[in-house]
Structures are given as structure tokens and as C-alpha cells.
Amino acid sequence: MGEFKEFIKSKTFFINLAIAVVLLAVVFGGASSFLSWYTRHGEYIVLPDLTKQSLKDVKGLLKEKELNYVIIDSSYDEKLPPQTVINQIPYKGAHVKKDRNIYLYITTAVAPLVELPPSIFEASFERAKLVLQQQGFKIGSISTKTDICVGCVLEIRYKGKLMSPGDKLAVGSRLDLTLGKSNNADEGDGQ
């Protein structure tokens, strides 16, 4: 134990300690500088709002800013032209580094097909209208014909063609409905 105390007090110990401290500082300083250079610490691009722009314009803008894009999903929106960006990740104003992937949601050119549910045939007009609109259809003209089921949906037509339960049509299709009405002559007979 006495030799150890003498070594700690010696000039050799302090020289070795100083060399170790300098080497550690150089290694950590070098590693920090390398990581800062490699990760481009402090360098960033403020991401602009890409929504409601065409994919073609967004491609050019991202290429100019040295950013990449990945389309991760698409959906139909009749109010926007096809190939329009509807959402982005990261969001506008985010700080991103060069070569970062920007994830985009875009609109499609083709509306998805939706099946006409059997429950709307012979349902009341109000119920059928609600179900059809929830599925993305539009109600076109309404006509009537005499039937025992007054106010019920008797027929659904798309561009003049009679539809059946299970037929598939594009979202946004305009459907013409035929509703049942009472026979006015029969109404007076029962009283």
C-alpha cells in the first residue's frame, strides 16, 4: 500500500494522467466533430405546405430542396384534381435535413366502387337517402309510380340502367330513384 501512495505522488503518475486526459479530450472532441459533420447538425430545411398542390409541382419543389418523397396512401376526393397532395408527414414548418423522406397522401383519379346495399330497396325514401349519401352517392331525380309500398324506394337507376342490390358503382355517382305512391282512386273507396 505504501508503494501505491508513493506512485500517486510521483511525477510519472501525473504525466500519465495528463496524457490520458488529453487523449480522452481528443477522442471525444474528434467523435463529436465527426458526428456533427456526419449528421449535419444545425443544418435544416423548413418544410413548406405541400397540400392542395399537384404531385408534379411537389416533386419539383422537393427535388430543388434536396428532399425525397414517398406516396404512402391515396384516396378519392371529387373536389380536388387527381394527383393532388392532401396530407404530408412531417407537417409544414417542420425542420428536416437534406435527403429526408417526406411522406405524401394524394388523391386518385378513379373513384372507388361501392356496393348498393340490399337494405335500401323497399326502404323509406329518407332512410335510403341517408344510407346512399353516407356511402358517397348523390341523389338525382325522383319519380313515382303506384305501389302498395307508399314512399318506399322501388327502383334505383344509374344513367337510365336499372340497378339491383349488390351492384357496384363509383363513389359520387348520381342515382335516380323511383318511389311508391298511393293510387288516389283507392284512397276514397275505404271511407
Per-residue pLDDT tens digits for 117-138: 888 988 999 999 999 999 989 9
Q: Sorting pLDDT into bands at 50, 70 and 90, what band is 78? A: confident
Arithmetic mean of pLDDT over the chain: 88
pLDDT at 35 over 70: yes
In a domain, 190, yes or no: no
What is the reported pLDDT for 143?
95
Check whether residue 69 and residue 14 sit in a common domain.
no
In tens, the pLDDT along 84-99 reads: 999 999 999 999 988 9
Give me the domain span that covers residue 28: 2-38
What is the reported pLDDT for 115?
93
In a domain, 191, yes or no: no
In tens, the pLDDT along 40-61 reads: 666 889 999 999 999 999 999 9
Query: 91-107 burial string, b = 16+ CB within 10 Å, else e?
Result: eeeeeeeeebebebbbb
What is the reported pLDDT for 40?
65
Check whether residue 141 and residue 178 sit in a common domain.
yes
pLDDT at 30 over 70: yes
Cβ neighbours, 10 Å, residue 47: 20
Task: Report how many domains make up the chain.
Answer: 3
In tens, the pLDDT along 130-163 reads: 999 999 899 999 999 999 989 999 999 999 999 9
Cβ neighbours, 10 Å, residue 69: 20
Can you tell me whether residue 2 is helix, strand or coil? helix
What is the reported pLDDT for 43?
81
Give the global pTM. Answer: 0.58
pLDDT at 190 over 60: no
Check whether residue 128 and residue 96 sit in a common domain.
no
For position 57, which CATH number holds? 3.30.10.20
In a domain, 153, yes or no: yes
